[in-house]
Chains A and B, each alone.
Chain A
Amino acid sequence: MSKRNGTVAVVTAALLLTTGCSSPGGSASGDAGAPLVIGASVSLTGDFSDSGKAVQRGYQLWADTVNAAGGILGRAVQLKIVDDASSPTQVVTNYQNLINKDRVDLTFGPFSTLLTIPASQVAKRYGYAFLAPAGGGPKMFEQNLDNYFFVQPAPTVQSGDVFVNYVLSLPADRRPKTAAYAELDDPFAAPLAENVRQKLEAAGVRTVYKQVYPSETMDLSPMMGAIAALRPDAIIAGTQNEDAYSQVKSLVQLKFSPSVLFQSNGANSPMEFPDKVGAGNTEGILSPADWFPGSKAPGSADFTAAYIKKYGGTAQSIDDSSAEAYAVGQVISAVAARTNKIDNKTIISSLHAGSWPTLLGTLSWSANGAPSGEFNLVQWQKGKLLPVFPASVAQASPEAPKPAWGG
């Protein structure tokens, strides 16, 4: 009957076995010559895995580029990327493991965005700087973490500001008079659209319709039908991906083409969007972007060339998530170059001051990690996604009003 104690035996053995290998005292960082190990947890499986992989490619590309040039302060960069399966418990375990088990020197942020807050708090507990290519929702900055830096030009909610500025730059008689708002209920899309709505209302654009829809809504036709019936001049949509495609498809079916159509996400995806809605239906649609093919920002040309060399495709096929991840690495390189040191304390204290050039433009951060720049406005013109506003980056002038569908 001794086997009956198997349960206890197994559990005890497992515990003892694992405690055995957990004796503290891994290699402390700082030795010149030793590799600089950087850990990140990315969603390689689960709901967010495609963008997760794009982030992984961006990190890897940066590490390759740096290593080809002799590493950071003579130390070769070594990435340790683990999978969080898009789960908030796994992401906590993963950063614990990276920091306390594998004793990585630095941590980079995760993808998906919904996992950034729990992950950044683990990093904060152990004094790690946390640079994240995604996770710029308002709640993130409310955490007031001094180790957090969101590596995009502006908090996600403000990425619609460039569109507002564009509308206000138009002469009064060419501005839209009425607008309808369709907002996806997620941490980014709805607040972004709300931000645009408040600013446009203040500028005298009348709101004729406003609706928030949940993310599992597969069928957006009822809502788009209600909007089409009101025939607003502008439709401003806070979207992610597939809902953006569904909106356009519904509008095409309803044969209603507003003179201004702005979608906060999805429409800025250079490959997927024309594939999903039909290339003829993209003309004139507006969207915000940080990086775009042909950008003149520092390092952008090198990044594009290296990306195509390593992963194939064309500049048009690069996901902005890869560019944003690459920018995280650029910031780290820049800190090392300016301070001649690379450790978490230096990174945190350096990044709260000064401005830092990246392929997303020049970045700077406030105390809670919110960046203070601005996005660019891109528009579909003849099958290509081109920056049209502000004038400093524009490669074409904005096309207005948006032509009818299938043009």
Chain B
Amino acid sequence: MRMRRGVGPVRAAVFFLVLAVAPTFGLAHWLLTMLVFTLMFAVMASAWNLLGGFTGYPSLGHVAFFGIGAYAVVLWFQHHDISSGYEPFLLLPAIGLGVALVGLPIAAIAMRTRADVFAIVTITLLFVGQTLAFNLRDITGGAQGASIVPAPFPADSYEIPFYDALVVLLAVSMGLTWATMRSKVGLSLAAVRMDEDKAAGIGVRVQTVKLLAFCVSVGLTAMIGGIWAYYEGFIYPQFAFDPLISVAMVLMTFLGGRATLWGPVLGAFILELAQQYFAYSLGGSRFYLIAYALVFLVVILVMPRGILPSVRDRLWRRGRRRIVDAQLPAGDGPL
């Protein structure tokens, strides 16, 4: 346990240093583009983990908030000018905060239900969002889609501002995760996951912490939606509210390891890079979807707790065979 204390921050520092300086080595545009999308999913998986990983409330509707963020940016800049190109990034904190506030009453209703029904209610949220985006035509443009002025950045360094903004958001989201894990909030969330009624019984402020987790989680997701919309330049309801984005967040978190600091990020880097690369290089193979589903199934069956906890368990057991520690609950340490 003592060894972990020092390693965490060093690891984080190295990781973010690599991320921050990587573009200065003249990464090609195509690679930066792939990294931009990967970072988007890394932040979203990390944000999903704050709710789904720590409290065990499996939201399948986070993309509803992603879509709200996307439309917020696009609609705002249909009425306001973009001159330097950085304005949409400056708007993001307001969007994050606004969506977190919008999320509060939604969470209060949705979280009256437990795990299974909660999953379904959140799916409903996603379809409500999509239906509204389609039907409030005067505001959203409906099925015609909505456009935002392309960023006026030079082609040579076009991706860099997006990339930098995403690195900052990843640092924020991982920082929040780290702080959660070290504080009483983290403990309370774990108590909610284990046995919510019992936790409430012994005086854990169940309602407060789970609502807080929900709001922070969806706020971060909405900010990514905003960046995505700006990067794409044009959005349609079915793409801004795509159920597969929700599924990707969940899958990445499960793949890397729920309720861990690095798990969701690792999951995003593996899955998103692999997906983007394979769709490009193995294009035309109809077996792509089958392969994706099989990977999904194998991961859950072989490593139901994700890569990091499974690997850690194996190391842990090898190192200390005498201490019986097979009962270690998922993600009690900041790995």
Is B138 positioned at the interface, with any CB of A under 8 Å from its CB?
no
A184 to B, closest residue via Cβ: B143
Stretch of B19-27, B114-122, B195-203 that contacts chain A: B19-27
CB distance B335 to A4 under 8 Å?
yes
18 contacts between A and B (CB under 8 A): A3-B315, A4-B335, A5-B7, A8-B15, A15-B18, A22-B27, A22-B30, A44-B284, A83-B280, A85-B288, A88-B232, A88-B236, A96-B34, A99-B30, A117-B233, A118-B232, A187-B143, A214-B131
Q: CA of A85 to CA of B283 in the docked complex: distance in angstroms?
A: 8
Q: Taking A4-B335, A11-B15, A100-B29 as contacts, is the C-beta distance between A90 and B143 under 8 angstroms?
A: no
Which residues of chain A from 78 to 133 have a CB within 8 Å of any chain B CB? Answer: 81-85, 87-90, 92-94, 96-97, 99-101, 114, 117-118, 121, 125-126
Report Cα–Cα, A139/B280, bound state, in Å: 27
User: Are the CB atoms of A90 and B134 closer together than 8 Å?
Assistant: no
Q: Is the CB of B283 within 8 A of A44?
A: yes
Complex Cα–Cα for A118 and B273 (A)? 20
B155, B228, B280, B285: the one within 8 Å of A125 (CB): B155
Give Cα A18–Cα B232 distance, bound, in whole angstroms. 24
Whether B134 and A214, one on each chain, are in contact in the complex, defined by CB atoms closer than 8 angstroms, is yes
A1–B28 Cα gap in the complex (Å)?
35
Cα separation A308 to B227 with both chains bound (whole Å): 47
Chain A residues lying within 8 Å of B77, measured Cβ to Cβ, are: none
Chain A residues with CB under 8 A of B150: 121, 125
Within 8 Å CB of B141, what residues of A?
Answer: 139
B145 contacts partner chain A, Cβ-Cβ < 8 Å: yes
A6 contacts B311, C-beta separation under 8 Å: yes
> Would B234 and A83 count as touching, CB distance under 8 A?
no
Answer yes or no: A14 CB below 8 A from chain B CBs.
Answer: yes
- Identify the closest chain B residue to A5 (Cβ): B11
**Chain B interface extent, by class:** 35 or more
Task: Please determine whether B147 and A139 come into contact, CB atoms closer than 8 angstroms.
Answer: yes
Chain A 156-206 residues near chain B, CB threshold 8 A: 185-187, 190-191
Q: A19-B22, A88-B239, A215-B143 are in contact. List 19 more A-B contacts (CB 8 A).
A: A3-B315, A7-B15, A10-B266, A12-B18, A22-B30, A45-B286, A83-B280, A89-B276, A92-B33, A93-B33, A93-B276, A93-B280, A99-B30, A117-B234, A121-B233, A125-B150, A139-B141, A139-B147, A187-B236
User: Bound state CA distance, A323 and B76, in angstroms?
Assistant: 41
Chain B, Cβ-Cβ closest to A122? B33
Asked if A89 meets B232 with Cβ closer than 8 Å, knowing A114-B239, A121-B150, the reply is: yes
Cβ of A8 and Cβ of B37 under 8 Å apart?
A: no
B144 close to A126 (CB less than 8 A)? no
Asked if A138 CB lies within 8 Å of chain B CBs, one says: yes
Question: Which chain A residue has the least Cβ–Cβ distance from B14?
Answer: A8
* A137 interface residue (CB < 8 Å to B): yes
A44 to B265, CA, bound (A): 29
Beta-carbon contacts under 8 Å, A299-328 to B = none
Interface 1/0 per residue, B266-288 and A, CB below 8 Å? 10010001001001111111101
Q: Tell me, yes or no, whether B289 is within 8 Å of chain A by CB.
A: yes
Q: Does any Cβ of B come within 8 Å of A354's Cβ?
A: no
Chain B residues with CB below 8 A from A214, complex form? 131, 134-135, 143
Chain A residue contacts of B284, Cβ below 8 A = 44, 81, 83
The residue of chain B having its C-beta at the shortest distance from the C-beta of A138 within the complex is: B144
Top 8 closest pairs, chain A to chain B, by CB: A83-B283, A22-B28, A82-B283, A117-B234, A96-B30, A100-B29, A96-B33, A101-B30
B residues in contact with A142, CB < 8 Å: 147
Residues in B whose Cβ lies below 8 Å from that of A185 = 134, 142-143
* Among B15, B26, B29, B262, contact of A96 (Cβ-Cβ < 8 Å): B29
The yes or no answer to A395 lying at the interface (CB within 8 A) is: no
| A83–B288 CB distance below 8 A | yes
Residues of A within 8 A of B286 (CB): 44-45, 49
User: Quick one: which of A6, A82, A114 contacts B280, CB cutoff 8 A?
Assistant: A82
Enumerate B193-231 residues with CB–CB distance to A below 8 Å. 228, 231
A253 in contact (CB, < 8 A): no
CA distance A89 to B275 in the complex (A): 11
Quick check: B269 and A14 within 8 Å, CB to CB?
yes
Instruction: Assess whether B239 is in contact with A94, with CB atoms less than 8 Å apart.
Output: no
Cβ of B335: which chain A residues have Cβ within 8 Å of it? 4
- Whether A406 is near chain B, meaning CB under 8 Å from some CB there, is no
Q: How far is the CA of A142 from the CA of B285 in the complex (A)?
A: 35
Q: Is the CB of B7 within 8 A of A1?
A: yes
A137 CB contacts on chain B under 8 angstroms = 144
User: CB distance A100 to B30 under 8 Å?
Assistant: yes
